Amino acid sequence: MSREYIRFSRNQRLQHIFMFVPFIILVLTGFPIKFPESTFWTMVFSVIGGIDTARVIHRFSAAVMILDFGFHIFYIFYNTIIKRAPFSKLYLLPNMKDARDIYQNLKYFLFISEERPKFHKFSYIEKFDYWAVFWGMFIMAGSGLVLWFPEEVSRLLPGVVIQIAYIAHSDEALLAFLAIIIWHFYNVHFNPRVWPANMVWFKGTLTEEEMEHEHPLELEEIKAKEKASS
């Protein structure tokens, strides 16, 4: 029986769930407003119960996502500042190896090389996923709060800020949706290597074969530590 390696803790998996579930709900309740001429989104709106119900659901889901993101910021702070994690353990930070991996992957895709790049804990693909969501949350949450409390904002800032917030919120939402569908869903679910789905987000573990294929450098490091401690 293949050995299972822990990749994500329960805490990390719950953070992910409380991010993507509200995101789906936000798309379903927000896109009918962005595309009012669309038959499909008009039908979705009618199923939800109309604009008033959609507005309540949208704001509740937004609050859940913002709270989850706030917890994630605290989680990062606790693990890097309080627990003083060494810089070498901050695996999600981009580095020069990512540039080399992109170059090697391009050669692999273009049949110039038969060797795929060897990834550690997170590949440049996963880092792009993470940082796109991280910085996108500041735009979505910031503009969303402006639209949620326009009267309060207009007392402090010029009215044009509300118009800018609407454009930023609407366009960033579409960009996030397309990034999730085209980039994230393919790499996590639709890629032939993991089809029909990679369930690591749910169970938190990968088999030794999956680790060998997707994260060989991390697997080598784990085995080296086990050998040194035995």
Could you tell me where the DSSP H helices lie in 78-199?
Answer: 96-109, 124-148, 150-156, 160-178, 185
Token pair, residue 140, equals 């979505």
pLDDT in tens, 38-85: 899 889 888 988 888 999 999 999 999 999 999 999 998 888 887 776
Instruction: Out of 127-131, 178-182, 184-188, pick the least confident.
Output: 184-188
Percentage of the chain exceeding pLDDT 70 = 97
Predicted confidence at residue 191, as pLDDT, reads 81
- Averaged over 184-196, what is the pLDDT? 82
Element (H, E) at 10: helix 10-34
Q: What is the mean pLDDT of the chain?
A: 90
Whole-structure pTM value: 0.89
Instruction: Compute the distance between CA of residue 50 and CA of residue 47 in angstroms, rounded to an integer.
Output: 8
Contact status, residue 27 vs residue 21, Cβ threshold 8 Å: no
pLDDT at 217 over 80: yes
Closest alpha carbon to 30 in 133, 128, 143: 143
Closest alpha carbon to 125 in 201, 187, 213: 187
Predicted confidence at residue 230, as pLDDT, reads 73
DSSP 113: -
Predicted confidence at residue 198, as pLDDT, reads 82
Query: Within 13 Å of residue 88, how many CA atoms lie on the same side as its CB?
Result: 2
Looking up residue 134, the CATH number of its domain turns out to be 1.20.950.20
Strands 205-207 and 4-6: antiparallel
Predicted confidence at residue 212, as pLDDT, reads 92
- Paired with 205 in beta bridges are 6
Contact status, residue 32 vs residue 81, Cβ threshold 8 Å: no
Contact status, residue 157 vs residue 164, Cβ threshold 8 Å: no
Of the pLDDT bands very low, low, confident and very high (cuts 50, 70, 90), residue 193 is confident
Predicted confidence at residue 197, as pLDDT, reads 77
Predicted confidence at residue 226, as pLDDT, reads 87
Structural domain tally of the chain?
1
Of the pLDDT bands very low, low, confident and very high (cuts 50, 70, 90), residue 134 is very high
Contact status, residue 161 vs residue 146, Cβ threshold 8 Å: yes
Of the pLDDT bands very low, low, confident and very high (cuts 50, 70, 90), residue 220 is very high
Domain of residue 70, residue span: 4-229
